[in-house]
């Protein structure tokens, strides 16, 4: 059950990331993906609880680092381009 919910939440987050028009929405979608990851870890607690807890701790730290980097990216984007819209990002993907 947890794995199914985890997969569905990850799908919702993917759809959100694909349809995001600004970077704030992208940040929220990434955090939703982590919610899916946390749910997917639960079955591991039945077999290897210590490893599962270790994976959970590392996932939480990873998400914290992702949040820090994305927030600084949003702030820098706002400073340089006067906006946080996805269309204002002109490198790292399609360029106009």
Residues in touch with other proteins (CB under 8 A)? 1-5, 7-9, 11-16, 18-19, 21-22, 24-25, 27-28, 31-32, 34-35, 38-39, 42-43, 45-47, 49-54, 56-58, 60-61, 63-65, 67-69, 71-72, 74-76, 78-80, 84-85
> Nearest distance from residue 47's CB to other proteins, in Å?
8
The rounded distance, in Å, linking the Cα atoms of 89 and 86 is 6
In the complex with other proteins, the residue whose CB is nearer, 19 or 95, is: 19
> Nearest distance from residue 25's CB to other proteins, in Å?
6
Q: Tokens 């106009």 — which residue?
A: 96
The rounded distance, in Å, linking the Cα atoms of 61 and 83 is 28
> Nearest distance from residue 45's CB to other proteins, in Å?
5
> Nearest distance from residue 50's CB to other proteins, in Å?
5
H-helix segments, the chain: 2-18, 23-41, 44-47, 49-81
Positive or negative torsion for Cα 38, 44, 45, 49 = negative
């Amino acid at each position: 059950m947890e794995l199914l919910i985890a997969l569905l939440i990850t799908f919702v987050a993917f759809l959100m990331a694909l349809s995001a028009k600004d970077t704030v929405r992208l940040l929220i979608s990434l955090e939703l993906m982590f919610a899916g990851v946390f749910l997917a870890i639960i079955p591991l607690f039945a077999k290897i609880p210590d490893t599962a807890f270790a994976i959970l701790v590392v996932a939480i730290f990873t998400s914290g680092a992702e949040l820090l980097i994305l927030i600084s990216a949003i702030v820098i984007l706002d400073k340089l381009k006067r906006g946080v819209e996805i269309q204002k990002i002109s490198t790292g993907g399609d360029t106009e």
